[in-house]
Structure 1
Amino acid sequence: MLQNRLRSWLDSDFMWRLSRSPVAIISLLVVLLLVLGAIFAPWLAPYDPYDPATLDLMNGFTPPLTANDFTGQSFLFGSDDQGRDVLSTILHGMRVSLFVGVAAVAFAMVLGISLGLLAGYLGGWVDTLIMRIADIQLTFPSILVAMLIFGIAKGITPVEYRDQMAIWVLIIAIGLSDWVQFARVVRGATLVEKNREYVMAAQLIGQPKLTIMMRHILPNVLSPVLVIATISLALAIIAEATLSFLGVGAPPTQPSLGTLIRIGQGFMFSGEWWILLFPACTLLVLALSVNLLGDWLRDTLNPKLR
């Protein structure tokens, strides 16, 4: 049974289109490589950048593939001002960036889908209230909304818990700034689906509204949501990096790619270019690959674009 399902999946139209798109294949491989590198960072990283016992300040500012004059150690991507291996910090920093991006998109998707279903199916004042809130939020740049939410949440968090809660506050801030696009797409699809025969039949037999929305309408509006989620993942990763670069994101104890870029930016004009270059290139490759993969999914799952 499993073998038949696997063969059917490999012979599907989705896999056929994937095999005919070199850009999608390369993007998928790059994303898988970076994700696996982040997941297995504790085992793949040559050094533990968070263990003070393994750090040696004498290794600071060692250029890539160059032996340190004092210790004789060399690092593939060089070392930073604290003697940390830049490659190890990138692998661990990707864990934070990917976790924040995926969690923020999942939160935005759940919130947006729920509000979109309610607005589209119930209509009336519920639809008006949700859509007016969405319209108001769209008048502000999402990064400013995220900064505002992050500042408010961090302000009401006790000082002793701010570092521990910073990642979760960051996830909530980015998620609350990105739910609108999910809600608008789901609302539009729900307005179409609720007039279908299968929904009317469910209403005639007396099924509850929640059951109709979750069991009948939701599965038929997920295709565009998955595409939006893929593209939003790249935007969420960039938003996290932007907030961390501005100093209002991930704490120094849990540096993300944005934090590493902010640290490297301080040494860019003093000659230590590698501290900024490699984290910035990693962020660029990660966001670009996810975005290209999302564009391919949009073109593949939308029959109007075929």
Structure 2
Amino acid sequence: MPHNSERTAPAKTSRLSAFLNSDLAWSYRHSPVTIIASIVAATLILMAAAAPWIAPYNPFNPATLNLMDGFTPPNSKSMSGNYFLLGSDSQGRDVLSTIMYGSRVSLFVGISATLLAMVMGVGLGLVAGYAGGLADTIIMRVADVQLSFPAILIALLVFGIARGLIPPNQQEGAAVWVLIIAIGLANWAQFARTVRGATMVERQKDYVAAARILGVNPFLILLRHVLPNVMGPVLVIGTIGLALAIIEEATLSYLGVGVPPTQPSLGTLIRIGQQFLFSGEWWILFFPAITLVALALSVNLLGDWLRDALNPRLR
């Protein structure tokens, strides 16, 4: 009698082969732009995740900084003999290392804010689309009002209110979480509108009617039956929303209302580098800016591909 491992191995192989032969995998293999974008995004994400282990220096440890290393051009050694591939800034911090550590903050804020917006938007969209009536009206009117304002202004408003409620001695430590909440609250409406429309379609189908007749709790109907069938558009919006959240975080940090200088993101590094652009130290601004563009563009291209690949009308 075959062992359990022998029975499960063919099942895993068949699932893997089914995925490799799926329309999604075929679309990915035949899209060079998507392959390049995924390689760029994966490289930047891995560099950020492994920054404490692979970064040449720890740029935010004051004990390791040397002012003699300041303003060292790219691919050269400083007066103290240290080598900097992408140059150093005014305080002698290695630009490559600051980009790695700054990308960690930008990605953490972007991913966390997108997840917060997704959870809020999906939850409210399910309630609005399934319950209808007064709940639908209230949720959608709030979403309409929010969508009439730029997301960055809403994030600034939320950030300002939160900073006013938090004691001054705790503001620096809570800045990252305040930024996540601000960006998340500014972007939930797009998820809610999409999920509401998909839920209104799903609730008319036979499997939902059968669950109602059987007396299944409405919460379980939404969680087990409706939610899995509306997640396709949500994943597409979430991927594109991640790129927008990273840009919004960089914008807020560039304006000086984002993360503190002690744990800077790419936006903070760009703001710092902008001060030295016209004095000849172009690399302090250029490399963080090109990293931000590459990260946001690659994630955005992946979102565009996922939207087209999951659209049955384009198959």
**Alignment partner of 2:18 out of 8, 27, 41:** 8
- Within the alignment, does 1:104 sit opposite 2:113 as a pair? yes
- Match of 1:195, SS? coil
Identity of aligned residues (%): 64
CA shift for structure 1 position 100: 0.3
Paired residue total: 305
- Match of 1:153, SS? helix
What are the Cα deviations for residues 37-65 of structure 1, in whole angstroms up to 9, with x where unaligned? Answer: 00000111000011111110110000001
4+ runs deviating over 6 angstroms: none
What are the Cα deviations for residues 244-294 of structure 1, in whole angstroms up to 9, with x where unaligned? Answer: 000000111110000000000000011100000000000000000000010
CA shift for structure 1 position 159: 1.2
- Within the alignment, does 1:197 sit opposite 2:223 as a pair? no
- Within the alignment, does 1:211 sit opposite 2:220 as a pair? yes
**Alignment partner of 2:156 out of 139, 147, 150:** 147
Equivalent residue number for residue 73 of structure 2 = 63
Equivalent residue number for residue 37 of structure 1 = 47
- Aligned equivalents of 2:137, 2:252: Cα separation in 1: 32
Say what the alpha-carbon RMSD is for the aligned residues.
0.8
Equivalent residue number for residue 6 of structure 2 = none
CA shift for structure 1 position 74: 2.3
TM-score (normalised: structure 1): 0.98
Give 5+ residue unaligned stretches, structure 2: 1-8
- Within the alignment, does 1:251 sit opposite 2:260 as a pair? yes
**Alignment partner of 2:291 out of 282, 285, 296:** 282
Equivalent residue number for residue 281 of structure 2 = 272
**Alignment partner of 1:23 out of 33, 49, 59:** 33
**Aligned residue type for 1:293:** L
- Aligned equivalents of 2:310, 2:22: Cα separation in 1: 13
- Match of 2:263, SS? coil
What are the Cα deviations for residues 65-101 of structure 1, in whole angstroms up to 9, with x where unaligned? Answer: 1222x21222000000000000000000000000000
CA shift for structure 1 position 165: 0.6
Equivalent residue number for residue 220 of structure 1 = 229
What are the Cα deviations for residues 173-225 of structure 1, in whole angstroms up to 9, with x where unaligned? Answer: 00000000000000000010000000000000111111111111000000000
- Match of 1:230, SS? helix
TM-score (normalised: structure 2): 0.95
- Within the alignment, does 1:50 sit opposite 2:71 as a pair? no
Give 5+ residue unaligned stretches, structure 1: none
CA contact (8 A) 2:176 2:259 kept: yes
Equivalent residue number for residue 193 of structure 2 = 184
